[in-house]
Amino acid sequence: MTISERSRIDRYEPAAIEPRWQERWAELGLGEAELRDESRPKYYLLTMYDYPSGDLHVGHWYVKTPTDAIARFHRMHGENVFFPVGFDAFGLPAENAAIGRGVHPAEWTYRNIDTMRRQLRSMGAAFDWDSEVVTCDPSYYRWNQWLFLRFLEAGLAYRASATVDWCPNDGTLAREQVEGADRHCWRCGAPVEKRDLDQWFLRITRYADELLDFSGIDWPEPIRVMQTNWIGRSDGAEAVFTTAADEVQPGGDELRVFTTRPDTLFGATFMVLAPEHALVERLTHPERRPEVEAYVARAERETEIERLSLEREKTGVFSGSYAVNPVNGERIPIWIADYVLAGYGTGAIMAVPAHDERDFAFARRFGLPVRRVIAPRELAGEPDDGPTMAQAYVSKSQDDLLVNSGPFDGLGAPAAFAAIVERLSAEGRGRAAVSYRLRDWLISRQRYWGTPIPVVYCERDGIVPVPYDRLPVRLPETVDYAGRGENPLRRDAGFVETTCPRCDGPARRETDTMDTFVDSSWYWYRYLSPGKTDGPLDRDLELRWCPVDQYTGGAEHAVMHLLYSRFFTKALADLGVVHEREPFRRLFNQGQVLGADGERMSKSRGNVQDPDELVARYGADTVRLFLMFMGPWDQGGPWSPTGIGGVHRFLNRVWTSMLDPHGVEAGDPEAGRLPAGESAESAARALRSTAHRTLRTVTAEYLEFRFNTMVAHLMELSNALFRYRGTEVAGSAAWDEAARLLLLMLAPAAPHVAEELWARRLAARGEAGRSIHGESWPAVDEAAVVEATREVPVQVNGKLRDRVVVPAGIAEADLERLVLERAKVRAALAGHQLVRVVHAGGGRLVNIVVR
């Protein structure tokens, strides 16, 4: 476009229009749901709330702006859309800032929230700000405490000992605060110790089986698989071994083991206890004590990663004691090894080296016997090859038979499983059992910046919950870190010293605060009534609005947050607080935008891409559209601004087509002329067809969150319009319809430019101004999409040889005759014998098979 022509219309300048529309939408209350309005279908759209780190980067835009497009798309379908935002405001970074720089965590947090609110507004996203939730506010965390008390009453909260990483100077350390292979404190460098503390747990394991059931919710398969594996249900049996009497001890102690293969019980040739097992000390013979104690001490210092490494050679020590196998009375040695974990099953195993790889490696390393008890049917008669086996036989074939198993020889493995469990049960030496990998949720944190756990410790009454009417237990406003990482609440006499609600005697407050995952396990309920003072949530609104229709957020929360949220919902349903047993009906996990270096974006890595400069240069609409166009939304990928100019050019062309349909491009010799052989009528028909076909495709793509192809299809429609610019088609009814559809389809994704062009369009027609975001989503005119002819590719032996344009409704026989007459086809067929003609995909393609 030349300068003279360009000057006929305004340039597309996002900076001049975007802030204006953002203000207008705020005035209109576009983002605010009418929660009590029941005349329209509800749509609760939730996007994971953010930690207010203070640096809003393109990653936040990547997560939030497509979600905003979803919200706007649903509003255009007449739905009452609830699309709230909030801040996950408790947590470690605020505390680190306080320790390191002396800023109060609250000040740091609220300052960041202010910055993020401003940046979030620049996205042009129509959030429901009236429903905003900030979790560090007492009006929110009060209800964490309320919920905790309900859990406590229901037996879902309890106190137990748990091991933490401990620094003598800085107290409990989070995993990220333990650094280096030598495991030193991030702040003071002291070697990290282990310490057992009494802490609070929530009994998520009570819901293990229900959490395995995903029926009724539409969640991605990989997430369901990950949660299923995390819960890790194993069906097997518990078998009770007893310790054998010897010169040191009388024997008879029970050693319970969990096994998924009770059918291999006759193959148990030794036992292994976790180093932490309660009976280790008692079973260790005096002469073996120094070695065992050294081994246990070493295992304690190891990181879980080291201990769980498969690469490492197996280690272990013999205790000196023996155990008796409950099925055959055999005496087998008891070993202690770190490959058995205290936290899983019973912390002890029966080792069946012939049929378990880990046990096999251990047996070979320490020269322990190997006995085959399971064999494929055809090898069942062979002598025991245990001593010479090169690897464990871990087949779970239905055809395997038991061998070397006394009365059970010859039984099929599945039958033997049942028979052996039955015998154990009958003799009181075991039973069928289920084990889970899932452990109860440790919610105690030894930190200031979190929700105080509302209990006191009374000398007389013990653990006493703070009464509901005395909530919230507030964090003290002044906090003295004294430059250390240790929980300052412990030293805060004004906080700690209190009276017992029951006896009024002296008592000490709990100084542990809650894991921030508690905050995020129910925040979507609070969004519905954030200011409610007589309860955590409004039951009527919860009944009407929950479950959440669509939840979107990063896949990094696949297990913990999403599993805890499901647990909370089920527990709250059982407590009568909510109605539904699943929080999120449909889930979509986006990928992550990484830094240009391919690493996760973070301030410390210095690879954060600030959207502000891109917005200043291209406008929010271009940035939004570019992030959608980058690739499939669930994939993410390294950030690169390459190509953003192309998206900007697209919006520019839309702008030009809409405002100057009759202009011509000086750079194009064909400008203003229809393509050869095309009449105004056929061009108009083609344009209508393209517009409605695009509408059909784009509608589906919005619903399936396939934003990258959605943008591509809008580009195609825009290109079609642009091509006809300056011709007699421009300004025709067909042109006008295509332009209208393009703007409506663009509105959810690029809301400002669509709104601006819509306003000008209405003004040009002398119509009253109204927001495009209040318009109805258009309907496809199926008749316009139907085409008179279509092109059929013709293959010979699967190779493309020709294309033929035929009437849309042509019969197969006619098509075949036509195809066989084509010169190119005949050339390809020459010298071959025709075998058959395949009409594939309902006549979409013809393949001629020859010999």
Partner RNA sequence: GCCGAAGUGGCGGAACAGGCAGACGCGACGGUCUCAAACACCGUUGAGGGCAACCUCGUGCGGGUUCAAAUCCCGCCUUCGGCACCA
Q: Least distance in Å: CB of 606 to RNA?
A: 17
CB-nearer residue toward RNA: 152 or 239: 239
Report whether 205 contacts 438 (CB < 8 A): yes
CB-nearer residue toward RNA: 387 or 667: 667
CB-nearer residue toward RNA: 10 or 193: 10
Q: Least distance in Å: CB of 128 to RNA?
A: 31
Q: Phi and psi (nearest 5°) for 249?
A: -145, 160
CB-nearer residue toward RNA: 116 or 392: 392
DSSP 260: S
Q: Least distance in Å: CB of 180 to RNA?
A: 18
Q: Least distance in Å: CB of 480 to RNA?
A: 34
Q: How far is CA 313 from CA 307, 309, 666, in A?
A: 10, 9, 75
Q: Which residues contact 709 (CB under 8 A, 6 or more apart)?
A: 697, 701
Measured CA to CA, the distance from residue 192 to residue 182 in angstroms comes to 9
What is the residue-wise DSSP string for 771-835? -GGGSPPP---HHHH--SEEEEEEEETTEEEEEEEEETT--HHHHHHHHHH-HHHHHHHTTS-EE
Q: Which residues contact 629 (CB under 8 A, 6 or more apart)?
A: 643, 647, 707, 708, 711, 712
Q: What is the dihedral of CA 115, 119, 125, 130, to 10 degrees?
A: 10
CB-nearer residue toward RNA: 14 or 91: 14
What residues are paired with 847 via a beta bridge? 795, 838
CB-nearer residue toward RNA: 656 or 699: 656
DSSP 595: P
Q: Which of 430, 496, 510, 419 is nearest to 462 (CA)?
A: 510
Q: Least distance in Å: CB of 799 to RNA?
A: 6
Q: Least distance in Å: CB of 327 to RNA?
A: 15
Q: Which helix (H) or strand (E) holds 499?
A: strand 497-499
Sole residue written with tokens 């009409």: 839
CB-nearer residue toward RNA: 26 or 208: 208
Opening angle at CA 409, ends 403 and 413, nearest 5: 75
CB-nearer residue toward RNA: 12 or 335: 12
Measured CA to CA, the distance from residue 120 to residue 135 in angstroms comes to 18
Q: Least distance in Å: CB of 228 to RNA?
A: 9
What is the residue-wise DSSP string for 90-126? -SHHHHHHHHHH---HHHHHHHHHHHHHHHHHTTT--
CB-nearer residue toward RNA: 262 or 536: 262
Considering Cα of 143, then 144, then 149, then 151, what sign does the dihedral take?
A: positive
CB-nearer residue toward RNA: 627 or 754: 627
Query: What phi-psi label fits residue 442: left (phi over 0), alpha (psi between -120 and 50 degrees) or beta?
Result: beta
Q: Least distance in Å: CB of 668 to RNA?
A: 4
CB-nearer residue toward RNA: 222 or 505: 222
Measured CA to CA, the distance from residue 301 to residue 338 in angstroms comes to 11
CB-nearer residue toward RNA: 315 or 498: 315
Q: Least distance in Å: CB of 670 to RNA?
A: 7
Count the Cβ atoms, other than its own, within 10 Å of residue 597: 12
End-to-end CA distance of the chain: 57
Q: Least distance in Å: CB of 639 to RNA?
A: 10
Q: Least distance in Å: CB of 671 to RNA?
A: 7
The CA radius of gyration of the chain, in Å to the nearest whole number, is 35
Q: Least distance in Å: CB of 19 to RNA?
A: 17
Report whether 124 contacts 752 (CB < 8 A): yes
The SS3 of residue 633 is coil
Q: Least distance in Å: CB of 535 to RNA?
A: 35
CB-nearer residue toward RNA: 84 or 345: 345
